[in-house]
Amino acid sequence: MAQESPKNSAAEIPVTSNGEVDDSREHGFNRDLKHSLPSGLGLSETQITSHGFDSTKEGVVEAGAFQGGQRTQTKGGPVILADEVKNPAMEKLELVRKWSLNTYKCTRQIISEKLGRGSRTVDLELEAQIDILRDNKKKYENILKLAQTLSTQLFQMVHTQRQLGDAFADLSLKSLELHEEFGYNADTQKLLAKNGETLLGAINFFIASVNTLVNKTIEDTLMTVKQYESARIEYDAYRTDLEELNLGPRDANTLPKIEQSQHLFQAHKEKYDKMRNDVSIKLKFLEENKVKVLHNQLVLFHNAIAAYFAGNQKQLEQTLKQFHIKLKTPGVDAPSWLEEQ
């Protein structure tokens, strides 16, 4: 006599009269599971759905945000957790990554240009103006150096003439038989020292103006030129990358890279065009300012030197008044800040 196998409630599969699987017990299980969870939890509500044994689909876990007892279901698939709070460390890491990639591309472009393998964008007219500016800067620096040497030597000569005039004046008082001769030489040396101080003031004014032109105005323009050259290298580097991608195959993997490369190329092209326009404007204004400044300073330098060696003290003083140059009186210190108040 065969024994009847014990029934297990978990293994029972209810079947309706038409042969379909009865899922009423499954819904009852889900209902009991929902009621067993405490209300008010901040977690996402989870629904577990099972299928019959004849289904080829796997179990699907659907997650929806809990909103006051209502459930919002999402389509089956992978669950993506979006982190809305930005991590500063990750942002810095991303900036370092972009900087490293940009540096690598620019370095590769520079090496390619030096080896004669890479192409570069050249604005012939602008490059010629930049070369002239750099050459003129070297020449102006040489003039500035020579003028400073002349000023130093003239200062020493004026100092010596003043001391010599004092020595002659002292001997004029102590030597009665040569009183007039020592007196003439003392007056001459003192006059030369005075004219030398006037000429020294004109030369120092010339040096200060040329120094401002060379080390501030021209240097500021050359800083913009350096930024323009950096923008040009970046533009050529990303242009080369885009050309290489366009020569390769076009498929689902390469098309996003080509679009990204096109976007970066366009951004660097706009930056390059802007810097080129800035350099052109600065070079134009620099040329106008340079001509105006050097014209006045060269006239001052010529008139002062000519009047000094001609012994024309009146013309020398008139030259300084023409350019509004005030000489510092020897032995008189500048007023303190308290006196100026």
Q: How confident is the model at residue 86 (pLDDT cuts 50, 70, 90)?
A: low
Rounded Cα distance, 183 and 189, in Å: 10
- Reading the block at residue 329, the tokens are 């009186």
Q: State CA 235 to chain mean position distance.
A: 16
Is 38 a residue whose pLDDT tops 60? no
The torsion of the CA quartet 120, 126, 132, 136, rounded to 10 degrees, works out to: -110
Residue 112: alpha-carbon gap to chain centroid: 24
Structure tokens at 325: 């140059």
What gap in Å lies between CA 189 and CA 169, rounded to an integer? 10
Least confident interval from 179-188, 306-315, 320-329: 320-329
- The two three-digit tokens of residue 269, written as one number: 């092209």
| 15: three-class secondary structure by DSSP | strand
79 φ, ψ to 5°? -90, 125
Q: Say what the pLDDT of residue 60 is.
A: 44
R_g (Cα) of the chain, nearest Å? 45
Among 259, 280, 270, 260, smallest CA distance to 235 is for 270
pLDDT bin (cut points 50, 70, 90) of residue 242 is: confident
Average pLDDT for 324-329: 70
Least confident residue range of 91-100, 211-220, 306-315: 91-100
Domains of the chain: 134-326 (1.20.1270.60)
pLDDT in tens, 298-307: 999 999 999 9
DSSP 21: B
The helix (run of H) or strand (run of E) holding residue 212 is helix 179-212
Task: Please state the rounded mean pLDDT for residues 264-282.
Answer: 91
Q: What is the pLDDT of residues 164-216, one digit of tens each?
A: 999 999 888 888 888 888 888 999 899 899 999 999 999 999 999 999 999 99
Question: What's the pLDDT at 250?
Answer: 78
pLDDT confidence of residue 30: 52
Angle at 255 between CA 254 and CA 259, to 5 degrees: 120
Q: How far apart are CA 274 and CA 262, in angstroms?
A: 18
**Exposure of 130 in the CB half-sphere (CA atoms within 13 A):** 21
Identity of the amino acid at 78: P
